[in-house]
Amino acid sequence: MQRPVRVAVVGSGPSGMYAADALTSQEDIAVSVDIIDRLPSPFGLVRYGVAPDHLSIRSVRDTLDKVLDKPGVRFLGNVEVGVDLTIAQLREFYDAVILTYGASRDRALGIPGEDLAGSIAATDFVNWYTGHPDVDPGQYVAFLRETTSVAVIGVGNVAVDVTRVLSKAPGEIDWTDMPQHVLDALRESSVTDVHVIGRRGPAQATWTTKELRELGELEQAQVIVAEGGDVSDEASRKAADDKAVARNIAVVEDWSQRADDGRARRIHLHFRCRPVEILGDTRVEGLVVERTELDAQGQAHGTGETHVVPVDAVIRSVGYRGTALDGVPFDASRNVIPNAEGRVVDDGTPVPGLYVAGWIKRGPTGIIGTNKKDAVQTVACLLQDAQSPQFLTATQPDPDGVDAALAGRAVDAGGWRRIDAAERALGATRGRERTTLWSREELLAAARN
Angle, in degrees to the nearest 10, between helices 440-447 and 413-428: 110
Average pLDDT on 423-433 reads 96
Domain boundaries, the chain: 5-104+322-411, 111-315
Least confident range of 150-159, 207-216, 323-332, 382-391:
382-391
Sorting pLDDT into bands at 50, 70 and 90, what band is 263?
Answer: very high
Residues 207-219, mean pLDDT to the nearest whole number: 95
Is the predicted pLDDT of residue 392 greater than 80, yes or no? Answer: no
Q: Which of 16, 3, 4 is nearest to 81 (CA)?
A: 16
Using pLDDT thresholds of 50, 70 and 90, give the confidence band for residue 432: very high
Burial per residue of 177-197, b for 16 or more beta-carbon CB atoms within 10 angstroms, e otherwise: bbbbbbbebbeebebbbbbbb
Average pLDDT over residues 259-264: 89
Q: Is the pLDDT of residue 317 over 50?
A: yes
Q: Provide the pLDDT for residue 2.
A: 66
pLDDT bin (cut points 50, 70, 90) of residue 396 is: low
Region 184-190 average pLDDT: 97
Q: How far apart are CA 96 and CA 12, in angstroms?
A: 16
pLDDT of residue 273: 97
Rounded mean pLDDT, 386-413: 81
* Residue 70 φ/ψ, nearest 5 degrees: -75, 140
Give the CATH H-level superfamily of domain 5-104+322-411.
NAD(P)-binding Rossmann-like Domain (3.40.50.720)
Strand 5-10 with 119-121, pairing: unpaired
Mean pLDDT over each residue of the chain, to the nearest integer: 94
Q: Which residues pair with 265 in a beta bridge?
A: 221
The values of phi and psi at residue 117, to 5°, are -60, 140
Task: Determine what percent of the chain is predicted with pLDDT higher than 70.
Answer: 98
Phi/psi for 204 (5° steps) reads: -100, -5
The pLDDT of 12-30, averaged and rounded, is 96
Please state the rounded mean pLDDT for residues 419-444.
Answer: 96
What pLDDT, on the 0 to 100 scale, is given for residue 238? 94
Question: Is the Cβ–Cβ distance between 241 and 248 less than 8 Å?
Answer: no
Query: Can you tell me the mean pLDDT for 244-272?
Result: 94
User: Do the domains 111-315 and 5-104+322-411 match in fold?
Assistant: no
- Range 294-318 average pLDDT: 96
- Asked if residue 419 has pLDDT above 50, the reply is yes
Q: Which uninterrupted H or E stretch holds 265?
A: strand 265-270
Give 22's contacts (C-beta < 8 A, 6+ positions apart).
375, 376, 379, 380
Contact 138, 128 (CB under 8 A): no
pLDDT digits (tens, 9 = 90+) for 367-376: 888 999 999 9
> Does pLDDT of 434 surpass 90?
yes
pTM of the model: 0.93
If DSSP codes are grouped into helix, strand and coil, which group holds residue 230? coil
pLDDT on residue 162: 97
pLDDT at residue 59 in the model: 84
On the question of pLDDT at 394 being above 70, the answer is no
Distances (CA, A) of 321 to 108, 155, 158, 362: 10, 17, 14, 11
Label residue 395 by pLDDT band (50, 70, 90): low
How confident is residue 65, by pLDDT bands cut at 50, 70 and 90? very high
Q: Is the pLDDT of residue 383 over 90?
A: yes
Of all residues in the chain, the percent with pLDDT exceeding 90 is: 88
- The confidence score (pLDDT) of residue 24 equals 97
Q: How far apart are CA 274 and CA 111, in angstroms?
A: 11
CA-based diameter of the chain, in Å? 73
Element of type H or E holding 36: strand 31-36
Compute the Cα dihedral for 234, 276, 135, 147 and give only its sign.
negative
Fold of 111-315: FAD/NAD(P)-binding domain (3.50.50)
Confidence of residue 401 (pLDDT cuts 50, 70, 90): confident
Q: What pLDDT score was predicted for residue 1?
A: 45
Decide: helix, strand or coil at residue 167: helix
